[in-house]
Every structure is written in structure tokens, then in C-alpha cells.
Chain A
Amino acid sequence: EAEVAQSPRYKITEKSQAVAFWCDPISGHATLYWYRQILGQGPELLVQFQDESVVDDSQLPKDRFSAERLKGVDSTLKIQPAELGDSAMYLCASSAGQRTGTGELFFGEGSRLTVL
């Protein structure tokens, strides 16, 4: 069964360091999402890609976060410098639709970040 791949599963870093997360969506899925999930809360959208283009990054803290999907396939989310409040689970998801509302999201296992 096709899955969304994410790495690393766990990352511990010190504040002010740089950290990067990688996601490979299900083959053929045009839409890719990065969500942040703080413990005890629901996922919050950070950035949404349609192929290689960003369609929504309104909640991405652009002073320290960046995301790219250069060839419209896999994606990288970077934080530099990391802050204590960035400790969270970072979830990648993909869907098959072309900005249609009906498609469900398929999530990866997530990358849990701990900033010390």
C-alpha cells in the first residue's frame, strides 16, 4: 500500500540550530501539505503545495521557516534558527485532487521535534 514517507521520525536539537524535515508523498499526488501539531492540539496547516507551487503559506512563520518542493514531488521543511516553541510533531500529507474539496488527506508518520 502506498504511503507518505517522512524523515527523520525523531529529531532533538538545541535552540538556534537549523533543522530540516523531508517528505515524499504518495506517487502521483499533486497536492502536498505540511502541518504542525502541538501536543494536545489538532494539526495546523503551515504550507500547501500544488505541484511545485505554494498555494497557501499564510500560517508559515517566514522569518524562520521555509519550505520547498522543487520538482513537484518530494518536499523539505526547514527551520532556522529553531526556538523552544517549535517543539511539535511535523506532519506531511498528500492528496490526489487538483485543489478540489473532496479528496481526503493521506498522512505520513510525522517527525517529532524536540528543541532544548
Chain B
Amino acid sequence: AQSVAQPEDQVNVAEGNPLTVKCTYSVSGNPYLFWYVQYPNRGLQFLLKYITGDNLVKGSYGFEAEFNKSQTSFHLKKPSALVSDSALYFCAVREGDDKIIFGKGTRLHILP
């Protein structure tokens, strides 16, 4: 069965600095990988996905993620953090027609 891990409960980054939120996954076949963001008392919003093709995926709000098959990772990145990026971020994986599995989430704090 597929699984996904977000090793950091919280990440603190100064405004203007680059940010990385880590995600690793485990599947037996080819993964479909997703990142979502959640603001307080709101639903999840889709940021980006990797299905196939270019390992660097660009998404909403200036975010991007890099798929690394050998390290089974799909880290979320942004070149320059904004205070408004502070939120809860979820990595998710799906294998074939199986259900989507979400990580436990990483809280991102951008410090002014």
C-alpha cells in the first residue's frame, strides 16, 4: 500500500528567503503526487501535481515541486517566501486508481 511522510511538523523561514517543505513517498508502481495548502478553518486548496514528464512542476502562488524518483521525494519549494504563505501544507500520493493518501501536514511559518 502507498504511504507518504512529511518529516517536519513545522518549518520557519524568514520572509524573502527560499523555502522547502519536505515529502517522501512509498508506492509499488508509478506515483501521482500532489501538494495542497490549508488556511485556518478552511478546506484544502490544490497547489500542484506530478503525473509524468518534467521532474520540476510549477504550481499556484509561485510554488514548485521537484520529483526525485531515486530518493522517492517530492519536496515543495518557493524561491522567495511571503508572510502570506504561512499555512498548513499537505503532501499526497495516489497509485493508479487507488485512493489518495495525505501526509500529516507541515506548518509553515514565514517570519516578517
Instruction: List residues of chain A with CB under 8 Å of any chain B CB.
Output: 4, 6, 40-45, 48, 56, 91, 93, 99-102, 104-110, 112
CB of A4 within 8 A of CB of B43, answer yes
A15 to B1, CA, bound (A): 35
Residue B100 CB within 8 A of the other chain: yes
Chain B: interface residue total (CB-CB under 8 A) = 23
- With A42-B104, A45-B100 already in contact, the answer to whether A102 and B49 are too (CB < 8 A) is yes
Q: Which residue of A lies closest to B90 (CB)?
A: A42
B64-72, B77-85, B91-99: which lies at the interface: B91-99
Instruction: List residues of chain B with CB under 8 Å of any chain A CB.
Output: 32, 34, 36, 41-46, 49, 51, 90, 94-100, 102-105
Which of B41, B46, B98 has a CB less than 8 Å from the CB of A105?
Answer: B46
> Which residues from B are CB-within-8-Å of A44?
102
CB of B104 within 8 A of CB of A101, answer no
A110 to B45, CA, bound (A): 12
CB of B97 within 8 A of CB of A43, answer no
CB of B32 within 8 A of CB of A101, answer yes
Q: Which residue of B lies closest to A98 (CB)?
A: B97
Which of A41, A56, A99, A107 has a CB less than 8 Å from the CB of B45?
Answer: A107
Q: Which residue of A lies closest to B51 (CB)?
A: A102
A6 to B32, CA, bound (A): 27
Which of A43, A45, A101, A102 has a CB less than 8 Å from the CB of B44?
Answer: A43
